[in-house]
């Protein structure tokens, strides 16, 4: 039997922390609770968890400050924000600071576990590819070949413009992670594309979905995170 993956829960509300811990333990994860920011940072260094669940509203530190410290370490673990704060600006800020995902309270166990599995898969892919440039990304029956600048859907080649391909490439590399509008705009059109001007991105995304024959209400490849950005599904 393989060792269980360790998840650090930095959450000051004990009822919520206990609820999450029980759900994780029932699904073969090792849960480590921390009830303050400083305790969370201390347990991160002593236990080297595989993933962190981080509440933003902690009694001693702002969650974004903790996120900033975790993202500045040589050894990074995926961080999923769990918070009652539902303001888009805070979500965008956390994601732009390096959070892998954002779950708003109240949330269901199934949703949380799915987000955890996705983040852990992505982290595993990143570790395997460290120092190795991957050339081909496979998402269900969608293939994105970076070297050949080629996209196949069910084995059939689909033509995309240069910018459409850049968007697909970016989403595929970060499959499972929410990429904010500004992140995509800067990486595809450059730092002077105009922060907050999302119309050009929406037009390109509509073209991509049309070519992939995708129904936005039932996404198979690309999910829209309303007010935030887009996520390439990896299930």
Helix (H, G, I), strand (E, B) or coil at 19: helix
pLDDT band at 34 (very low <50, low <70, confident <90, very high): very high
Structure confidence by residue, pLDDT tens digits, 164-201: 999 999 999 888 888 999 889 988 887 655 555 688 89
What does the angle CA 221 – CA 225 – CA 229 come to, to the nearest 5 degrees? 90
Alpha-helix residue ranges (DSSP H) falling in the chain: 14-26, 37-47, 63-70, 88-96, 109-128, 162-173, 181-189, 199-211
Under 8 Å between Cβ of 41 and 33: no
Under 8 Å between Cβ of 152 and 145: yes
Structure confidence by residue, pLDDT tens digits, 132-166: 456 888 888 999 998 888 999 999 999 999 999 99
Q: Which of the following CATH numbers is that of domain 6-128: 3.40.50.300, 3.30.70.1380, 3.40.630.30, 3.40.50.2300?
A: 3.40.50.2300
Structure confidence by residue, pLDDT tens digits, 11-31: 999 999 999 999 999 999 999
What fold, for 136-232? Answer: Arc Repressor Mutant, subunit A (1.10.10)
Tokens found for residue 25:
């333990």
223 to 46, 88, 131, 166: CA distances (angstroms): 36, 17, 29, 17
pLDDT band at 209 (very low <50, low <70, confident <90, very high): very high
Under 8 Å between Cβ of 30 and 39: no
Edge-to-edge order in the sheet of strand 142-145:
136-139, 142-145, 150-153, 156-157
Q: Mean pLDDT score of the chain, rounded to an integer?
A: 87
pLDDT tops 80 at residue 1: no
Using CA of residue 101, residue 102, residue 105, residue 107, what is the dihedral sign? negative
> Structure pTM?
0.75
Tokens found for residue 200:
């050009």
Tokens found for residue 100:
């892998």
194 to 13, 58, 94, 200: CA distances (angstroms): 40, 34, 20, 10
Residue 67, exposed/middle/buried by CB under 10 A (0-12, 13-18, 19+)? buried
């Amino acid at each position: 039997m393989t060792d269980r993956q360790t998840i650090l829960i930095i959450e000051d509300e004990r009822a919520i922390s206990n609820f999450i811990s029980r759900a994780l333990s029932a699904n073969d994860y090792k849960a480590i609770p921390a009830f303050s920011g400083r305790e969370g940072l201390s347990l991160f260094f002593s236990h080297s968890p595989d993933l962190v669940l981080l509440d933003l509203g902690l009694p001693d530190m702002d969650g974004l400050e903790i996120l900033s410290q975790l993202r500045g370490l040589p050894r990074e673990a995926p961080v999923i924000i769990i918070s009652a704060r539902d303001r888009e600006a805070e979500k965008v800020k956390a994601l732009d600071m390096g959070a892998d995902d954002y779950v708003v309270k109240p949330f269901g166990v199934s949703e949380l576990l799915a987000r955890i599995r996705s983040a852990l898969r992505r982290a595993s892919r990143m570790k395997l590819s460290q120092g190795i440039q991957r050339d081909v990304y496979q998402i269900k029956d969608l293939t994105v070949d970076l070297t050949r600048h080629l996209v196949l859907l069910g084995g059939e080649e689909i033509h995309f413009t240069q910018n459409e391909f850049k968007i697909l490439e970016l989403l595929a590399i970060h499959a499972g992670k929410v990429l904010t509008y500004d992140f995509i705009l800067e990486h595809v059109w450059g730092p002077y594309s105009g922060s907050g001007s999302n119309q050009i991105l929406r037009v390109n995304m509509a073209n991509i979905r049309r070519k992939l024959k995708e129904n936005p209400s039932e996404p198979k490849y690309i999910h829209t995170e309303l007010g935030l950005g887009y996520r390439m599904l990896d299930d």
